């Protein structure tokens, strides 16, 4: 009901309505004019902006090049990997959530609650797939795909997993890839190579070294995307064609390595759970035939992001599984270095074939007592190598002018500097000189140190790769090659793009006599009963080499005779072995270091032996095949069987480097072991001067069994 | 005036015939607002299906919107059965009840996107701030109905109504919901201007407002994101991927519709999710992208017809309460339409204001429907003195 006296006021109001109508028209006029501005005047330009929004260049990742061994055995491949993803918003909206989750939970064997938790945690991200499980099995993929139509928001996504087919074998050599991280981008892109976040890059080993070859050129596709950059699902009434190809992806180049995977596997098997490294090299070219570092890791798990827990464990492992022990770790070479001392002595004229020193089991140099592991009595250079007599080499050291003579020959032979292999992280090792010590420690050199250097201890360190190359160089008569591991680069369709040729770095001039004497010594190590690796011989294959037992800590005087095996694990000596075969026509040289494996003869030589045997059998079956060899040996009246070695103290006990100060014990003379038979002159011949023990062997049993 | 007096004469001829009441009521019934309402809602739900449908049909937001429309229709029937003078009697009760609900939101409310705006009632979530707009208008209409001030309102006369507005505005700002508070404030200002204010008071208010705005800006009354929105309104390109993103993408959506639009469900901006919240506050950009200038002009014309019809209800009302109530409701509609479209088209800063009948949101829809119901009631009862 109207109030009295309101009539007038109401009439007044009604006049003001004109203003209201005016305001209304002005307001709507503004809206319309804005509409004209945006849709008519700016229309073309804004339509263009919306197109740019919608169409996105989508990267088509180029497949990374594959890596093969020398016989085209695939080592590194790109394998599809399937992930289960759920877009929570789609699933929630469907109202089927509990049913779908319980179904998935059964297939992927993950508790429902866990799936639910992942979804809840990622709820806020709008319409983005949440990873529920990676690495689905084929079976899981099949089951999910079959029911996908009833499971809104559930998606199986295919990703590429860089796969090391042989798991942890040669992980260090092959390396791994992972996503580029933001901090490296500026450095990477300065060179003009375009990396973007999300791209993969080689982080270690060949994957890193050969990045430029392995990496392909990504292609590009223009696709319709939504605001989150997701490629939209196919729609029937799409106004533009989907998947317009901008540029094809160009796959990366493949690598053919010099590696032989069978050797790698044989070496891995022989290594067992030992820690250390093996390098096998072809002395005729410098091709690396096998290269291992143990313990290892599986690079496959790195390619799609390694869980922090696993990474942490790898870092914390005291055996350093991430380190390449073949070229990035320094090892004292121990007695394997004695051939350098022998060569220095022979070449410098300090000793010759007739030089005989007396080994009483210990020797006092300066005011320190140096021990030998045995009393070798009267001993020549050949026999000294065979039996690894320390005293002989101490005496050689005394005869030489200074440690610099040893250093000179070590350097000539390639020690103390990088081998030049085209791999990252190689360390140079160390060959000490008087000048070096003066500079490093400010102290003069002392004679005791020369003695230690002579047997590969003291400051002397080498890498496993250097040792293999050293023996390779010696075995081929002095040609030092640059070791290499990539034999060829191949285009993705198999055309050879580049082939790598052997590269001799230097020619070491050695007197024939020197070579003969040292080779005889090395022959004896394995092939004469007094040799330190007699149990490791390979009848008919002329396997020769040198053991070493590198002491890591100076032993207290009372511990000097403690058996290595009874020491604390970390105090045990490193087992070193370097050898080659066949002696007169070397086709392979192998160096092995087994950390804390105690004795070169038992801890390292069997691994080298397994690799050499495998190699000769595989590549020279007409000469070294099991049957050929058995027949040949039979005609020579020998067995191809390695008999049980007569136990010689030299096998187990050799190579203590330095002793503590101790009084010289009364000399006790022990009978000398017989000198090894002379080296065969022609390579085709089986080793002459058959060992009596060959005949004692059992016929017909397996030859590959290494016995001690 | 002439027109209505003729009508009233005609109606007077029949007032005695009781049997004819029902038919006569029907004849007098103002269908226009309800018809436009249904048309706008029809366009709204059709558009909502496009805005949400491709994303995922099973989300089914349009279904719940239809349910809310049903609720609104039931309320419309109830309102139409009453006389709007009932609102006059219950005005303060409605106002304070709503105020209590607003307080309750802050205590037991449900949060979403950092704001507490809803309270759960049964299975529904209602937004008391939406209803507060109507309660506010009813309350102000009631207040001025009995007021006999002549020669324009002075500063003192406005203190109490200002307080009546400030209370709910403050509570709504706390949620925070800048858009709704702004609408209430603008509605109040519209009503005040209509009521005639002394020029000196007007100047004083203008000066105070400027000072208050400065204070609000400097003393952190606004949340950082709210400030950011205003900054990015002034210069959207200052942060194109951040706070300016909505404004830029929305403008692209509207403009790319050009003359005829991209076609129903073919709007790439909305279907590609480039526009956040495109089913609520940015629903107009979906419509304009898909239907272009022609479609938008039709829509805006519909709103204009709606507004003119609503204003004519106010104009034709014979009592002060009816005029002020109808005017207030139309002010709410106007500011919603103007602010929402202005925001979508980049003319105004982004404040969360829904577009009546088109934006998704139950409370907003029901409030709009109630507003129309009250207007229709006022229109129908104009002869019943």
Average pLDDT of chain A, as a whole number? 79
Most A CBs within 10 Å, among B252, B275, B301, B318, to test the A interface: B252
Q: What are phi and psi of A692, to 5 degrees?
A: -60, -30
- Indicate if the pLDDT at residue A468 is higher than 90: yes
Tell me, what's the pLDDT at A216?
87
- pLDDT band for position A226 (cuts 50, 70, 90): low
* Cα A629-A680-A647 angle, rounded to 5 deg: 70
Q: Is residue A656 pLDDT above 50, yes or no?
A: no
- Helix/strand/coil (H, E, C) string of B304-323? HHHHHHHHHHHHHCCCHHHH
Distance in angstroms (rounded) separating the CA atoms of residues A648 and A535 = 10
pLDDT above 60 (res B58): no
Q: Is the dihedral of CA B266, B270, B273, B277 positive or negative?
A: negative
Contact at CB, B268 and A34, closer than 8 angstroms: no
On chain A, the residues whose CB falls within 8 A of the CB of B314 are 17
Is the Cα dihedral B158, B161, B164, B170 positive or negative?
negative
- What's the confidence (pLDDT) of residue A265? 93
CB atoms within 10 A of CB A59: 15
Residue-wise pLDDT for B303-329, tens only, equals 999 999 999 999 988 888 999 999 999
Rounded to whole angstroms, the Cα distance separating A483 from B143 reads 99
**If we measure between CA atoms, which residue out of A399, A414, A374, A373 comes closest to residue A573?**
A373
Cα angle A306, A311, A316 (rounded to 5 degrees) comes to 175
> ∠ at Cα B169 (B163, B171), nearest 5°?
110
| Neighbouring C-alpha atoms within 13 Å toward the C-beta of A75 | 29
Q: List CB contacts (< 8 A) between A36 and chain B.
A: 293
pLDDT of residue A309: 82
Interface predicted TM-score of the whole assembly (ipTM), two decimals: 0.88
pLDDT, position A375: 86
Give SS3 for A463. coil
Task: Kindly calculate the radius of gyration of chain A based on its CA atoms and give it in whole angstroms.
Answer: 36
Q: Give pLDDT tens digits for B239-248.
A: 555 556 778 8
User: Chain B: residue nearest A35 by CA?
Assistant: B293
Most confident option among A306-310, A530-534, B357-361: B357-361
| Contact state of A14 with B315 under an 8 Å Cβ cutoff | yes
CA angle B150, B156, B159 (to 5 degrees): 115
Chain B residue with the nearest C-alpha to that of A55: B268
Q: What pLDDT sits at residue A554?
A: 61
Please report, rounded to a whole number, the percentage of residues in chain B having pLDDT higher than 90. Answer: 40
pLDDT exceeds cutoff 50 at B355? yes
Backbone phi, then psi, for A363, in 5-degree steps? -150, 140
Beta strands (DSSP E) in B41-178 are 110-112, 115-121, 124-126
Dihedral sign of CA atoms B196, B199, B202, B206 in order: positive
pLDDT at B132: 93
Token digits of residue A56: 């996105």
Instruction: Let me know: does A384 contact A522? Beta carbons within 8 Å.
Output: no
On average, the pLDDT of chain B sits at 83
The pLDDT value given to residue A553: 67
CA distance A150 to chain B (A): 13
Task: Name the band, by pLDDT with cuts 50, 70 and 90, for residue B12.
Answer: very low
Strand partners, B370: none
User: Which alpha helices (H) appear in A528-624, and where do they start and end?
Assistant: 605-619, 621-624
Share of chain B above pLDDT 70, in %: 81
| DSSP E strands, A530-607 | 544-550, 574-581, 588-595
Distance CA A606, CA A705 (A): 9
Per-residue pLDDT for B275 more than 80? Answer: no
Residue A645's pLDDT band, with cuts at 50, 70 and 90, is very low
Check CB contact of B146 with chain A, cutoff 8 Å. yes
Q: Report the distance separating Cα A245 and Cα A57, nearest Å.
A: 9
pLDDT number for residue A641: 60
Residue A243 has pLDDT above 50, yes or no: no
- Joined tokens for residue A478: 């002095």
CB A685 within 8 A of CB A578: no
B320 and A2 in contact by Cβ < 8 A? yes
Looking at mean pLDDT, say which of A602-606, B24-28, B333-337 comes out highest.
B333-337
A297, containing H or E segment: none
CA nearest neighbour of A463 among A605, A336, A346, A651: A336
- Give the mutation candidate from A39, A53, A125 for the B interface (greatest B CB count, under 10 A): A39
> Does position A222 have pLDDT exceeding 70, yes or no?
no
pLDDT band at A681 (very low <50, low <70, confident <90, very high): very low
**For the ranges A11-25, A275-289, A552-566, which has the lowest average pLDDT?**
A552-566
Give residues with Cβ within 8 angstroms of A75, minimum separation 6.
A66, A67, A68, A69, A164, A165, A166, A170, A174, A257, A259, A261
Q: Between B331 and A56, where is the model more confident? A: B331
- A7, A11, A20, best to mutate vs chain B, most B CBs in 10 Å: A20
**Which positions in chain A touch B56 (Cβ < 8 Å)?**
89-90, 93-94, 152
β-bridge mates for residue A581, sequence order? A588
- The closest alpha carbon to A609, from A582, A630, A633, A579, belongs to A579
Helices (H) and strands (E) in chain A, counts: 25, 23
Residues of A in contact with B343 (CB under 8 A): none
Q: Is the pLDDT of residue B342 over 90?
A: yes
> For A46, which of B85, B255, B296 is closest by C-beta distance?
B255
Beta bridge partners of A589: A281, A580
Residue A50 distance to chain B (closest CA, Å): 6
Q: Given an 8 Å threshold on Cβ–Cβ distance, is B266 in contact with A237?
A: yes
Closest CA to A550 of A317, A144, A224, A276: A276
DSSP at A322:
T
* Cross-chain CB nearest to B252 (options A6, A13, A46): A46
pLDDT band at A97 (very low <50, low <70, confident <90, very high): confident
Q: What is the pLDDT of residue B351?
A: 81
Say what the pLDDT of residue B13 is.
Answer: 46
| Confidence at residue A461, expressed as pLDDT on a 0 to 100 scale | 92
Q: Hey, which residues 261-300 in chain A have their CB within 8 Å of chain B? A: none
- Which position has the higher pLDDT, B376 or A702? B376
Classify residue A493 by its DSSP letter: T
Q: Which pLDDT value is given to residue B53? A: 65
Evaluate if residue A399 carries a pLDDT over 60.
Answer: yes
CA pair distance B327, B344, nearest whole angstrom: 25
pLDDT reported for residue A240: 40
DSSP element (H, E) containing B94: helix B85-108
Which chain A residues in 23-82 lie under 8 Å from chain B, judged by CB atoms?
24, 27-28, 30-32, 34-36, 38-40, 42-47, 49-51, 53-54
pLDDT of residue B336: 95
Stretch 82-101 of chain A: residues touching chain B, C-beta under 8 Å:
89-90, 93-95
Which pLDDT belongs to residue A112? 86
Give pLDDT, residue A233: 47
d(CA A67, nearest CA chain B) in Å? 41
Structure tokens that stand for B69 in this block? 């429309």
Cβ-contact A383, A440 below 8 angstroms: no
Given this model, what pLDDT does residue A344 score?
A: 92
Q: What does the DSSP 8-state code read for residue A572?
A: S
Of A3, A32, A224, the CB nearest to B297: A32
- Measured between beta carbons, which residues in chain B are less than 8 angstroms from residue A10? 318-320, 323
Among A13, A32, A53, the residue with its CB nearest the CB of B272 is A53
Asked if B272 lies within 8 A of A27 by C-beta distance, the reply is: no
């Amino acid at each position: 009901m109207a109030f009295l006296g309101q009539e007038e006021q109401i009439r007044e109001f009604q006049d003001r309505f004109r203003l209201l109508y005016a305001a209304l028209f002005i307001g709507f006029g503004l809206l319309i004019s804005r509409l004209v501005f945006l849709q008519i005047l700016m229309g073309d330009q804004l339509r263009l902006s919306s197109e740019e929004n919608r169409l996105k260049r989508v990267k088509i990742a180029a497949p990374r090049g594959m890596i093969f061994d020398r016989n085209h055995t695939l080592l590194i491949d790109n394998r599809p990997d399937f992930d289960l993803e759920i877009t929570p918003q789609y699933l929630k909206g469907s109202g089927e959530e509990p049913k779908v989750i319980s179904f998935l939970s059964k297939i992927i064997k993950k508790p429902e609650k866990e799936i639910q938790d992942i979804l809840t945690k990622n709820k806020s991200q709008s319409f983005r797939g949440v990873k529920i499980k990676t690495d689905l099995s084929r079976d899981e993929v099949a089951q999910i795909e079959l029911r996908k139509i009833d499971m809104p928001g559930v998606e199986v996504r295919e990703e590429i997993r860089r796969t090391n087919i042989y798991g942890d074998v040669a992980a260090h050599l092959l390396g791994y890839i992972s996503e580029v991280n933001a901090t490296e981008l500026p450095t990477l892109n300065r060179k003009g190579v375009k990396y973007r976040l999300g791209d993969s890059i080689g982080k270690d080993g060949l994957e890193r070294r050969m990045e430029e070859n392995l990496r392909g050129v990504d292609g590009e596709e223009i696709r319709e995307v939504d605001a989150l950059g997701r490629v939209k699902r196919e729609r029937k009434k799409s106004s533009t064609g989907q998947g317009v190809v901008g540029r094809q992806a160009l796959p990366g180049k493949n690598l053919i390595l010099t590696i032989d995977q069978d050797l790698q596997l044989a070496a891995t098997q022989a290594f067992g759970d030992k820690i250390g490294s093996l390098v096998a090299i072809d002395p005729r070219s410098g091709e690396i035939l096998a290269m291992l570092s143990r313990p290892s890791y599986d690079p496959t798990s790195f390619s799609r992001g390694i869980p922090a827990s696993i990474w942490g464990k790898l870092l914390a492992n005291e055996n350093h599984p991430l380190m390449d022990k073949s070229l990035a770790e320094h090892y004292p070479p121990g007695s394997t270095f004695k051939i350098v001392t022998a060569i220095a002595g022979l070449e410098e004229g300090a000793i010759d074939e007739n030089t005989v020193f007396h080994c009483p089991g210990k020797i006092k140099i300066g005011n320190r007592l140096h021990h030998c592991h045995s009393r070798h009595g009267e001993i020549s250079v050949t026999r000294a190598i065979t039996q690894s007599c320390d005293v002989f080499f101490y005496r050689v050291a005394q005869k030489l002018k200074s440690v610099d003579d040893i250093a000179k020959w070590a350097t000539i032979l390639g020690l103390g500097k990088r081998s030049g292999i085209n791999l990252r992280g190689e360390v140079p090792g160390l060959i000490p000189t008087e000048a070096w010590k003066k500079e490093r420690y400010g102290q003069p050199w002392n004679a005791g140190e020369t003695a230690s250097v002579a047997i590969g201890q003291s400051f002397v360190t080498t890498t496993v790769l250097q040792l293999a190359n050293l023996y390779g160089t010696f075995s081929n008569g002095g040609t030092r090659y640059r070791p290499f591991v990539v034999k060829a680069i191949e285009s993705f369709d198999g055309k050879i793009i580049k082939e790598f040729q052997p590269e001799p770095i230097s020619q070491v001039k050695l007197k024939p006599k020197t070579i003969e004497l040292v080779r005889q010594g090395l022959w004896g190590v394995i092939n004469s009963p007094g040799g330190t690796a007699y149990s490791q011989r390979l009848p008919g294959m002329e396997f020769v080499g040198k053991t070493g037992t590198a002491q890591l800590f100076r032993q207290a005087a009372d511990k000097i005779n403690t058996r290595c095996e009874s020491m604390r694990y970390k105090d045990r000596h490193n087992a070193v072995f370097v050898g080659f075969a066949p002696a007169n026509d070397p086709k392979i040289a192998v160096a092995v270091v087994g950390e804390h494996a105690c004795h070169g003869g038992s801890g390292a030589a069997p691994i080298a032996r397994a690799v050499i045997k495998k190699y000769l059998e595989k590549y020279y079956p007409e000469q070294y095949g099991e049957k050929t060899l058995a027949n040949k040996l039979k005609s020579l009246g020998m067995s191809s069987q390695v008999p049980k070695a007569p136990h010689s103290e030299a096998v187990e006990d050799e190579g203590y480097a330095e002793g503590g100060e101790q009084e010289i014990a009364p000399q006790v003379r022990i009978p000398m072991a017989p000198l090894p038979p002379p080296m065969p002159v022609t390579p085709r011949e089986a080793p002459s001067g058959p060992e009596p023990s060959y005949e004692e062997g059992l016929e017909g049993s397996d030859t590959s069994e290494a016995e001690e | 005036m002439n027109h209505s007096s003729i009508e009233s004469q005609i109606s007077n001829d029949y007032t005695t015939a009781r049997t004819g009441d029902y038919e006569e009521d029907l004849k007098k019934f103002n269908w226009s607002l309800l018809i436009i309402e249904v048309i706008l809602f029809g366009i709204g739900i059709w558009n909502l299906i496009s805005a949400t449908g491709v994303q995922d049909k099973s989300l089914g937001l349009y279904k719940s919107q239809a349910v809310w429309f049903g609720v609104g229709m039931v309320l419309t029937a109830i309102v139409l059965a009453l006389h709007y003078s009932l609102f006059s009697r219950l005005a303060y009760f409605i106002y304070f009840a709503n105020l209590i609900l607003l307080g309750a939101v802050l205590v037991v409310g449900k949060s979403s996107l950092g704001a507490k705006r809803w309270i759960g009632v049964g299975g529904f979530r209602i937004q008391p701030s939406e209803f507060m707009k109507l309660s506010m208008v009813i309350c102000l209409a009631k207040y001025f109905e009995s007021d006999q001030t002549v020669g324009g309102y002075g500063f003192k006369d406005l203190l109490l109504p200002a307080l009546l507005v400030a209370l709910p505005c403050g509570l709504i700002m706390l949620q925070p919901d800048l858009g709704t508070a702004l609408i209430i404030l603008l509605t109040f200002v519209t009503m005040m201007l209509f009521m005639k204010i002394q020029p000196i008071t007007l100047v004083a208010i203008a000066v105070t407002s400027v000072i208050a705005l400065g204070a609000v800006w400097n003393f952190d009354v606004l949340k950082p994101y709210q400030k950011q929105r205003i900054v990015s309104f002034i210069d959207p390109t200052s942060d194109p991927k951040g706070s300016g993103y909505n404004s830029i993408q929305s403008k692209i959506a509207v403009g790319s519709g050009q003359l005829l639009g991209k076609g129903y469900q073919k709007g790439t901006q909305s279907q590609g999710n480039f526009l956040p919240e495109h089913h609520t506050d940015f629903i107009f950009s979906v419509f304009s992208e898909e239907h272009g200038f022609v479609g938008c002009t039709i829509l805006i014309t519909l709103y204009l017809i709606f507004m003119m019809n609503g204003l004519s209800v106010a104009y034709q009302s014979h009592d002060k309460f009816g005029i002020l109530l109808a005017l207030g409701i139309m002010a709410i509609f106007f500011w919603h339409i103007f602010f929402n479209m202005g925001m979508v088209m980049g003319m105004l800063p982004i404040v969360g204001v829904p577009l009546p009948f088109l934006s998704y949101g139950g409370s907003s829809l029901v409030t709009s429907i109630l507003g129309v119901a009250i207007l229709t009631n006022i229109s129908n009862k104009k002869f019943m003195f």
